[in-house]
Amino acid sequence: MLDKVLSFPAASLHSRNVLVVEDQVLTRMMVADELRRRGLKVLEAQNAHEAIAVLQSQVPVDLVFTDVRLPGSMDGLALSRLLRETLPELKIVVTSGDLPVDTDVDPADAFFPKPYDLRGIAGHIEELLGELRR
């Protein structure tokens, strides 16, 4: 494990890595900026296929924050189900402006309807990451 982390000189052993999956560039930028301000390392993907490409690489990811509505053949819920099956330790947070608050988003650790409170979400993500041990 250690050699994978150290193989990229910039990688920090102490930082937690969050993958933000969102096709609206300004929203993605806003969320990523808030998380980076809190000291997290943030990776960005425009759609589910980009997210899978990142997760299939050696880049470590601790939590995926994904919108439900994504371009392409896979939406955020399908991505979440796939990730829950294949990477059960990964934390998953789902957001959507289309789903009712009481929608079953079983694969996710948390669901936030849009519009959301950015600081609230960032705080929740930090809490979820705090549950992880590396």
Partner 1 sequence: MTMAHQSPAVIQTVLLVEDEVIARVMLAEYLRDCGYNVIEAADTDEALVVLQHAEIEVDVVLCGISKTGSAGGFALSQFIRSTRPWTHVVLAGNHARAVDAAGELCEAGPTLSKPYEPQVVLDRIKRLLAGRPKQKK
Taking the complex as a whole, the smallest distance from the CB of residue 48 to partner 1 amounts, in Å, to: 10
- Going edge to edge, which strands form the sheet with 110-113? 41-45, 17-21, 63-67, 91-96, 110-113
Is 28 an interacting residue with respect to partner 1 (CB under 8 A)?
yes
How many residues of this chain interact with partner 1, rule: CB under 8 A?
23
Looking at beta carbons only, is 27 or 103 nearer to partner 1? 27
CA dihedral 73, 33, 38, 104 (to 10 degrees): -30
Is 5 an interacting residue with respect to partner 1 (CB under 8 A)?
no
Is 53 an interacting residue with respect to partner 1 (CB under 8 A)?
yes
Is 126 an interacting residue with respect to partner 1 (CB under 8 A)?
no
- What is the CB neighbour count within 10 angstroms for residue 124? 17
Q: Are 88 and 102 in contact (CB under 8 A)?
A: no
Is 58 an interacting residue with respect to partner 1 (CB under 8 A)?
yes
Is 86 an interacting residue with respect to partner 1 (CB under 8 A)?
no
Is 10 an interacting residue with respect to partner 1 (CB under 8 A)?
yes
| DSSP-assigned states of every residue in 59-107 | ---SEEEEES--SSS--HHHHHHHHHHH-TTSEEEEEESSS-TT---TT
Is 13 an interacting residue with respect to partner 1 (CB under 8 A)?
no
Given the rule CB under 8 A, which residues bind partner 1? Answer: 7-10, 25-26, 28-29, 32, 41, 43-46, 49-50, 52-54, 56-59
